[in-house]
Amino acid sequence: MTITVLDSYTEMRATLNSPLAERPELLRRMLEPTAGMFRYFPGKPDRNSLAKFPNGSAAPSPLAGTPG
């Protein structure tokens, strides 16, 4: 088993301080190192969608431009 720790603080802060239109691409770049870490999903998971619902919650995300 491999345990990977990603320090995403700086990139997440920059993403949240960016205009809404730029956030999806910034998030995509931030999540790129997680490629291959979600092998339990069939096919190729959309990491942006996964990040919008942390811990399985259906709460709106600030990345989507809504209070959350």
Query: Phi-psi region for residue 55, left (φ > 0), alpha (ψ -120 to 50) or beta?
Result: left
In sequence order, what DSSP letters do the residues of 12-68 get, joined into one string?
A: HHHHHTS-GGGHHHHHHHHHGGGTTS-TTSSS---HHHHHHSGGG-----GGGTS--
pLDDT at residue 55 in the model = 55
List pLDDT tens digits, range 4-42: 888 889 889 999 999 999 998 998 888 888 777 766 656
pLDDT at residue 68 in the model = 43
Question: Quick one: DSSP state of residue 5?
Answer: -
Cβ atoms 60, 68 nearer than 8 A = yes
Does pLDDT of 54 surpass 70?
Answer: no
pLDDT at residue 51 in the model = 64
User: What is the reported pTM?
Assistant: 0.52
